[in-house]
Structures are given as C-alpha cells and as structure tokens.
Amino acid sequence: MTAMDGDLNVGEARRPAEGDWRGAKRFVLPALAVFAVATVLYGATVGASDASLLELIKVLIGIGEPSATFAQDRIILLELRLPRVLMGFLVGVSLAVSGAVMQGLFRNPLADPGLTGVSAGASLGAVLVIILGDTMLGPVTRAMGPFALPLAAFGGGLASTWLLYRIATQGGRTSVAMLLLSGIALAALTGAATGFLIFFADDRELRDLTFWGMGSLAATSWPKLGAAFLVTMPALLVAPFLARGLNALALGEAAAFHMGIRLQQLKTVAIASVAAATGASVALSGGIGFVGIVAPHLVRLALGPDHRRLLPASGLVGGALLVLADSAARTVVAPAELPIGILTAAAGGPFFFWILLKNRARLAV
C-alpha cells in the first residue's frame, strides 16, 4: 500500500499551499482593478507633450498655480489624451472579453473573433463607412455622426455572424467545426469585398484606411468614445451571465444540456455580444490583434479557467495591456507615433506561437 500512502502524502503536503493560493485568489480581482486604474492614470501622464496631469488636477481643485502653458496643457489632457486612454481601455476590455467568451463558446483556447470572421465582417462595415462615407453614404453617415463607424462595424459583425449561423446551424444545433470553417470562407469573402472597395478609394481615403488597418487610437474624441461605449456596454454587461453556461459547455454540449443550460440561447447571446464588442473595437481602432488571445490566456494561467473570474479579470488585463501598449506607441518614437497594432502584433505573435507549441500535442488533430 506504499503507492497509496504516497498519494495521500502528496495530497496532504499540497493542501496548505493550494489553500493559501485559493484564499489569495479572492484578492486578485480587486488588485487587477487597482492596477487597471493605475495604468489609465499612467497613460494620461505620459506622452509627446509634457503636459502634467498632476498640475491640472491641482489647479482644478484650487491648490495649484496655473503655469504659462496651462491652457494648452489642459486641452491636450482633456480633449486628446484622456479620451484616447479611456478608448484604449475600452477597446482592450472589449477585445479581451470577446476573446474569452468566444474561446468558451468554441471550447478552444485559440478561438478568437478574428478566427470566426466576426472581425472581418466588422471591418467590412467600417471600410464601407471610411471609403463611401463622404460620397455615396454621405447623408447617412452625417446623420449618424460618431455612431456611423461603430454601428456599421457592429452591423458587419452581426451580419457575418448571422450568415455563419445560417450555414453552421442544423436542427437547432451549431457545429463548432462548421462555424470555424465557415469563418474562413467568410473572411475570404469580406476580404474580397474590402479589396474591391479599396480599389475605388482615392489617395486620402487610402491613407486613412492604411492607418486604420494598422490599428490606431490616435483620432479619438469624446463623441467617438461615447458612441463606442454605448455600443459595447450591453455586451460587456451581459457577459457575467454567460459564465455558468460557458463553464458547463467546457464539458461538451451534451453535458451542458444535462446541467440545465439552454444551449441555443447561450450561443445566441454570446455571439451577439461578441459581435457588438468586436464591432465597436474594430471600428475605432482597426487591426489590433491578439489581445483577445493573450489576456484570457494569462488569466487562465494565474486564476484558472472558471469563467466567473476569467471574464472580468480578462477584461481588466486586456484594458490595462492596451493602455500600456498605446502609451508605448505614443512615446517610444516621440514626437512621431507607432501604430499600436504593430506593437500588439509584435508581442502577441510570438505569444501565440508559444501557446501553440505548449498545446501541440493536444491540438494536433
């Protein structure tokens, strides 16, 4: 019975350490929230101009003397930097939560809105507005103001998701393999449509498009932030209610059904919220990749895969990551600026490879 005794000893020796960590896990979410706020404040203090957030706050609450450049600093901080940092945070949260929800839905740690064609559909919507917004669609985009781009992208994301659904759903059930394969076809189709539009673009539109495609938060304003917030919020608010269903789904569709989950409802809500959150992000920042894979993966390593913790924690990590990446994008080559998409791809690409290598045995099917 030595083997059995050995087993028990391992269990015994492990328990206190695990217990401590499980106790500590309760503090991780609040700690992450504090960290996220800190990165936002940090993002608001750094930049090409040396406008000081601290000075602004001091003056605003009446304990400091305005400096010579105060009026200009105030505009830089309040009209440019703050909305941009908050937008970065919102986009990071949306991408990370969409990624985590999608991975839960597809039961695959590598799934991502990019893989299923949701991003492709969303960017087709955005490209339509960017290229035809001044001409053919002029009256519509003018009437919708800052909502035009995020709503068009949301529409594109939702339309592609709806199409996916029609193709991949049979007899009330969605096959994940079909969904992924349809996603590939859909990405090719929307890519072709986008290319067709680009063919007719003039030089200025092309430049806009190129920068948008590389991913940038540069042209942020309060109205744009507000519009993005309104499109994303319902999706982020519904995410916590998906947690139990996604946990159960990890054991397979049948097991989730046995545990009382309404599968079709879970899938519909998850897909719609992913389309909204991804659509708004794609519209506002273009091609920012890998946040949706990196943030949830980091959280799973630290906290485990339980979606009740994973969803909020991924959101906070994704938001903080993107604010930090954007701060770097704004400062490393100041006064010029790197497109943030290049930074996230440069860091996320190798990370993705690392995940692939680690899971090679399991994913080789």
Partner 1 sequence: MIHARDLTVCLSGRPVLKGLSIGIEAGRLTAIAGPNGSGKSTLLRTLAGELRYDGELSIWGTSLRNQSPAVLALRRGVLPQSSESAFPFTVAEIVGFGLEAGARGRREDAGLHVARALDRVGLSGFAHRNYQELSGGEQQRAQLARVLCQIPEPVAADGTPRLLLLDEPVASLDIRHQLEIMALARDFASKGGAVVAVMHDLNLTALFADDLLLMRDGRLVATGPVREVMTDPVLEKVYGCRLRVNAVPERGVPFVLAQSVA
Considering the complex, state which of residue 8 and residue 60 has its C-beta at the smaller distance from partner 1: 8
* Residue 250 interacts with partner 1 (CB under 8 A): yes or no: yes
CB of 56 to partner 1, least distance (A): 45
* Residue 300 interacts with partner 1 (CB under 8 A): yes or no: yes
Of the listed pieces 11-19, 82-90, 135-143, 146-154, which binds partner 1 according to CB under 8 A?
11-19
Angle subtended at Cα 97 by Cα 92 and Cα 103, rounded to the nearest 5 degrees: 130
CB of 287 to partner 1, least distance (A): 28
Q: How far apart are the first and last CA of the chain?
A: 39
> Quick one: which of 66, 146, 191, 305 contacts partner 1 (CB under 8 A)?
305
> Quick one: which of 134, 208, 306, 337 contacts partner 1 (CB under 8 A)?
306
* Residue 244 interacts with partner 1 (CB under 8 A): yes or no: yes
Considering the complex, state which of residue 191 and residue 305 has its C-beta at the smaller distance from partner 1: 305
* Residue 26 interacts with partner 1 (CB under 8 A): yes or no: no
Note whether 102 and 266 are within 8 A (CB): no
CB of 288 to partner 1, least distance (A): 25
* Residue 356 interacts with partner 1 (CB under 8 A): yes or no: no
Considering the complex, state which of residue 142 and residue 258 has its C-beta at the smaller distance from partner 1: 258
* Residue 165 interacts with partner 1 (CB under 8 A): yes or no: no
Pick the closest to residue 195 from 256, 131, 242, 259 (CA basis).
131
Give the E-state strand segments of the chain in sequence order.
Answer: 169-170, 173-174
> Quick one: which of 43, 47, 99, 109 contacts partner 1 (CB under 8 A)?
109
CB of 328 to partner 1, least distance (A): 31
DSSP for 193-259? HHHHHHHT--HHHHHHHHHHHH---TT--HHHHHHHHHHHHHHHHHHHHHHHHHHHHTT-HHHHHHT
Q: Which residues are CB-neighbours of 343 under 8 A, at least 6 positions away? A: 325, 328, 329
Of the listed pieces 123-131, 193-201, 273-281, 300-308, which binds partner 1 according to CB under 8 A?
300-308
Of the listed pieces 85-93, 177-185, 255-263, 329-337, which binds partner 1 according to CB under 8 A?
255-263
* Residue 240 interacts with partner 1 (CB under 8 A): yes or no: no
Considering the complex, state which of residue 250 and residue 324 has its C-beta at the smaller distance from partner 1: 250
Map residue 74 onto helix, strand or coil.
Answer: helix
Map residue 151 onto helix, strand or coil.
Answer: helix
What residues from 168 to 207 belong to the interface with partner 1 (CB under 8 A)? 171
DSSP designation for 48: S
Q: Which residues are CB-neighbours of 176 under 8 A, at least 6 positions away? A: 106, 107, 108
> Quick one: which of 259, 333, 334, 346 contacts partner 1 (CB under 8 A)?
259
> Quick one: which of 260, 361, 364, 365 contacts partner 1 (CB under 8 A)?
260
CA–CA distances in Å: residue 318 to residues 32, 39, 169, 210, 332: 11, 11, 31, 24, 21
Q: Can you give the length of the chain in residues?
A: 365
DSSP for 109-125? TT--TTTTTHHHHHHHH
Q: Name the packing angle between helices 82-106 and 2-45 (round to 10°).
A: 150
Please tell me the distance from the alpha carbon of residue 210 to that of residue 340, in angstroms, as a whole number: 13
> Quick one: which of 66, 107, 163, 337 contacts partner 1 (CB under 8 A)?
107
Number of residues that bind partner 1 (CB under 8 A): 30
CB of 306 to partner 1, least distance (A): 6
Please tell me the distance from the alpha carbon of residue 349 to that of residue 365, in angstroms, as a whole number: 22
Binding footprint of partner 1 on the chain (CB under 8 A): 7-8, 10-11, 14-15, 18, 107-109, 171, 244, 247-252, 254-255, 257-262, 300, 304-306
